[in-house]
Amino acid sequence: MATLDIYQFPCLSDNYGVLIHDGENNLTASIDAPEAGAVRQALADKGWTLTHILTTHYHADHTGGNLELKGETGCTIAGPRNEADKVPGIDVKLGEGDSYEFGAFTAKVFDTPGHTAGHITYWFPDAKVAFAGDTLFTMGCGRVFEGDAKTMWNSLSKIRALPPETVIYSGHEYTVANADFALTVEPGNAALQARAKEVRELRAQGKPTVPTTLARELETNPFLRPGSPEIQANIGMEGREHWEIFGEVRRRKDNA
Ligand code: ZN
Ligand code: FE
């Protein structure tokens, strides 16, 4: 089995860039391209040559480097079919149920709308890794800009159904703020208390809290836990539909 090498680096104010590399086939993809300079530097640091950009959604902090990097390298840009007109330089349009071959690896693509209407998530089952863009964050989730609570909950439910050992990369370092908020809706969650302490320590040392694993998120992320009796009681929504509870938790975070 080939190895998928993964290199994450901070860029812009709070974004993460990620390179994935199939050494056997000498392919390197940038998961999103927040800015050309940081991606270029990361490629130089690793000695890798860019062949692909895999776009999760059209926002400028995820596509700002697309055209410059494509101009320099001739890389292929894959991205969401449902917002393809907003993704600079897109060559390959992907959506729900598609498989995308990246050397020895295959990405399974899910539509995960809500943050944007066309947002997609890439899951590499053999490498046990998913790239969730701005849909799921460590202990948080993306703001619902284009869609409603039901749409976003349905998207999160697709990620929630992946194997628990799946390693989840996301676009931003928002984790300390996410942890502070999570404790307001589920203060009695011991796993959450421990994780909040851990992420504060990591950040104090300048270390990333991304990636995470789905298993840890299922235990600590309030946006994946609408079934929690404590959350339901704290927001006064015992027994309501999970998408409604998700929506209320998201509304409270927006107003926090
Ligand atoms: Zn975004
Ligand atoms: Fe973003």
Q: How far is the CA of 14 from the centre of ligand 1 (A)?
A: 12
Instruction: Specify whether 134 is catalytic.
Output: yes
- Every domain of the chain with CATH number 3.60.15.10 lies at 4-169
Query: What pLDDT is stored for residue 40 in this prediction?
Result: 98
* Residue tagged active-site, from 21, 52, 119, 172: 172
Q: How far is the CA of 177 from the centre of ligand 1 (A)?
A: 17
What is the DSSP track for the chain?
A: ---EEEEEEEETTTEEEEEEEETTTTEEEEES-S-HHHHHHHHHHHT----EEE-S---HHHHTTHHHHHHHH--EEEEEGGGGGGSTT--EEE-TT-EEEETTEEEEEEE--SSSTT-EEEEETTTTEEE-TTSEETTEE----SS-HHHHHHHHHHHHTS-TT-EEE-SB--HHHHHHHHHHH-TT-HHHHHHHHHHHHHHHTT----SEEHHHHHHH-GGG-TT-HHHHHHTT-TT--HHHHHHHHHHHHHH-
Query: What pLDDT is stored for residue 2 in this prediction?
Result: 84
ω into 163 cis (within 30 of 0)? no
Query: What pLDDT is stored for residue 222 in this prediction?
Result: 98
Query: What pLDDT is stored for residue 121 in this prediction?
Result: 99
Query: What pLDDT is stored for residue 62 in this prediction?
Result: 98
Indicate the Cα dihedral angle 209, 153, 17, 1, nearest 10°: 90
Ligand showing the shortest atom-to-Cα distance for residue 119: 1
Output the six-digit token pair for 158. Answer: 């697709």
* Residue tagged active-site, from 134, 148, 180, 242: 134
Count of alpha carbons within 13 angstroms of residue 39, beta-carbon side: 33
- Mean of the pLDDT values across residues 12-17? 97
Distance CA 139, CA 233 (A): 20
The answer on pLDDT for 100 being more than 80 is yes
- Mean of the pLDDT values across residues 112-125? 98
* Residue tagged active-site, from 52, 59, 111, 119: 59
Q: 168-210: per-residue pLDDT in tens?
A: 999 999 999 999 999 999 999 999 999 999 999 999 999 999 9
The answer on pLDDT for 231 being more than 90 is yes
Distance CA 91, CA 93 (A): 7
Query: What pLDDT is stored for residue 21 in this prediction?
Result: 98
Band of pLDDT at residue 237, cut at 50, 70 and 90? very high
Query: What pLDDT is stored for residue 165 in this prediction?
Result: 98
- Mean of the pLDDT values across residues 30-37? 98
CATH code linked to domain 4-169: 3.60.15.10
Query: The whole model's pTM is what?
Result: 0.98
The answer on pLDDT for 39 being more than 90 is yes
Q: How far is the CA of 14 from the centre of ligand 2 (A)?
A: 9
Q: 135-164: per-residue pLDDT in tens?
A: 999 999 999 999 999 999 999 999 999 999
CA angle, residues 58, 84, 131, in degrees to nearest 5: 50
